[in-house]
Amino acid sequence: MPCIFRARMNLQNQNPYMNARKLFTLTAILLLVTSSVFAQRVFDLQENNVTNVDGAEIGFTITNEQKKEIGNETYARYEVTVYVTNHSGCHRFFLDEGTGNVFSGSYVTPGTIAIFDCLNATGKRLTSKNVSVSAKPFYLNGSFSDIKDGKTVTRTTRVQSGYILRNGDSVSNNLIIIVPLGERPIFKCRMMNQSNI
């Protein structure tokens, strides 16, 4: 069953303030319809193995590894690529809002699909312990009518409605981590909630 998202906003009203109100109402309805509880699901990842989560393939690959001398100790340094690929048959839509609390340190930037945490990363030499992957911005067109000098003027404006990971698309990110010598990176992935369209 193909997933098709069609949005049409017909705001043919004489009052520009009513147009803004209707646009706000339509956006609020879109957010309510597509939103769900902002819980995060956590998955253990295996090196070079794909984990399938509701049609989204998540995983990581090690692209480079070497030994690194830090102080008097030797560590293992890895360059890693993490990825999310959508094979669900539908587009994945993410709301245009952050989740979490800025003050608690758990804030997630808008459009984030997944956060990959390396459990045994040391963070030495200003290397990473985690990385996120994000979807691309998604826009809708909104038509606004206004009366100027007795004439109706209609204009169309692009409004960012959220973020989208289209069916078949893949997003990835790279990071460098340092782990104790003799260990391989151990990753967990926190998936953000999204809506299927």
d(CA 114, CA 111): 9
CB atoms closer than 10 angstroms to residue 191: 20
Answer yes or no: are the C-beta atoms of 194 and 97 closer than 8 Å. Answer: no
Supply the pLDDT for residue 183. 93
Mean pLDDT by 10 residues, the chain (197 residues): 42 54 66 50 87 90 93 93 93 69 57 91 88 91 84 87 91 94 93 65
Secondary structure (DSSP) of 66-93: EEEEETTEEEEEEEEEEEEEE-SSS-EE
**Considering the entire predicted model, what is its pTM?**
0.69
Task: With H, G, I as helix, E, B as strand and everything else as coil, classify residue 134.
Answer: strand
Supply the pLDDT for residue 18. 57
Supply the pLDDT for residue 35. 46
Supply the pLDDT for residue 93. 85
